[in-house]
Each structure stands twice: as C-alpha cells, then as structure tokens.
Structure 1
C-alpha cells in the first residue's frame, strides 16, 4: 500500500485540476470526491478529491487562497520519447500555463512540473565530463527538452 500521497492545495480549482490532470495522463482515474455538506457556504463544492495519475496517488484540496504553489515543489514526469515530452509539455502549458527553462513549466493552476526525457539524466551523468558538460550547456538553452539536440550535443 502507498504510504505517501501528494496533496495539492487549490483555491477553488481542485475539481477542475483533477479532471485536467486525469485527462492528460494515461491510466489515470478519479478515486473519490468529498464535497462540502449542506448548510455550508461552500455547499456542493469539492473539499478534497483523491485521484491517480498513471497509478500514482494524489489529493486535491480546496483549502483557500492562503497558500500558493512555488517551484520549491514540483512533479517530475519521466518520458521515453520526444512524442511524450511534446504531449506533456503541450497539455500542461495550455490554457495559461507558462513554459520555463530546462524542461520546467508551470501549469494553469501554478503547479510546477519537470518534463524529463530519460536520455537527459543518463547523458548528464556520463563519466565523460566533456560530454556531460556539452549536454548541460545545450539543456541550459532550452525550455522544452529536445532529445535530438541533447544527443547531438553529447556527440560533440
């Protein structure tokens, strides 16, 4: 049984975010939705929802405006192909998301994501320091990671 679940704190967008994320990731589903009870000013709105993204558990909480997302906490997506990188980058930046440097982005809710092709960490950890340095320099010039360009940089 999973003992750690990421809880994302929203200001009224928990249900929208959950539905958005489960539409992007394969093998994802809504597990439960708890709404504010009758008589509450927020009656019928989501209080907390549980869902899975590709089998990984998450919670979405409508906790209010006190806290905002920052880059200090991000979700990292491991991708096998450029097609996957492109898919996640496009879907997570659409509707008001912001592309960032080096494979990072913020989605329209302010959640930070890293879209990482599996080739990148392998090439950055190459024992050949010159090769790893070229890959790092190439990555530093990118927003969305281009696998062909980092492999080209590795070759010199």
Structure 2
C-alpha cells in the first residue's frame, strides 16, 4: 500500500464509481471491498463501507460516507491522454449517465468528481520554447469544453502576419 492514499467520499456509490474508473485505464483494479458487519446498527448488513482500488497504478479508497460532503472542483484528477481517441473515449465514458462538461477539458462525472482530460500534445505545446505559439494554443483551449487536438495544433502552428 502507498504511504498516502487519496480517500474519495461518496454518497453510497463508491463501488459503482470504482468499477467505472478501473474499467477506463490500464493498470487498474478493485483491490478490496469492505462490507458492514451484521451487527452494525448504522448500516445494513453487507452494505459497502469502503472500496480500495488502483487506478493507473495509483491507490485510492472510496468511502460511502453519505451526502454530507459532496465533491467540489477544488479537487480534480488529470488524465494525460496519448491522443484524440483517448480524449474522446475517456470524456464520453466519464460524462455518460449524468456527468457534465466544463470548460478547458474539465468535466464532472455522474458522481460529481471533477476530471481534467488533457491531450499530451497540449502539455507539449504549453511547454514549447515558442511562447507566442504556446499562447495561441492556450487561447484556443480557453474556448473549448472537450479539448480538440487538431484545433489546438492549428492554433499553435498559426503564423500571424505571414
């Protein structure tokens, strides 16, 4: 087990969320589901209390803590995507079933957890020595919801006054 494991507070959907998340990325799995014992008066016998799962090699815990503490955009998870196909696949899977798109590659999944679906090409453009080109890519990104690699690339490569 990692020394630090993020714990995500769900309103009764920890196992459902973990199953979705591990289905999306390689090196992911459900590691352990802890259920309520029969003599626990606060939860039905066998109810899921926690789910330990590994997502792309990173350990997490999902806690069914109830509705008191919903997710906010103050915490999000960024996924580095190899190409547009991966951006599209992850975006569609995380939005499905009640998620919502946000600006600049951000979205909320149906559980309310925020994700940033970022093509690696954008990271490379933003780190390029040509700061004007990086700025054009950033300006293009600011107008998008789901990020589009081809549009970002065109903005990056644009030559004003040429």
Q: TM-score, normalised by structure 1?
A: 0.95
| 2:90 match | 88
Mapped partners of 1:24, 1:62: distance in 2: 21
| 2:35 match | 35
Mapped partners of 2:124, 2:106: distance in 1: 18
How far did 1:125 drift?
Answer: 2.5
Matched, 1:150 2:152: yes
Matched, 1:119 2:121: yes
Mapped partners of 2:38, 2:47: distance in 1: 10
- Give the root-mean-square deviation of aligned CA atoms: 1.2
Residue 109 of structure 1 aligns to a residue in which SS? coil
| 2:18 match | 18
How far did 1:128 drift?
Answer: 2.0
Say whether the 8 Å CA contact 2:10–2:66 is kept in structure 1: yes
Say whether the 8 Å CA contact 2:99–2:107 is kept in structure 1: yes
How far did 1:15 drift?
Answer: 1.0
Give matches, 1:27-66, under 5 Å: 27-40=27-40, 41-66=43-68
How far did 1:66 drift?
Answer: 1.0
> Structure 1: where are the runs of 5+ without partners?
none
Q: TM-score, normalised by structure 2?
A: 0.92
Larger radius of gyration: 2
How far did 1:129 drift?
Answer: 2.2
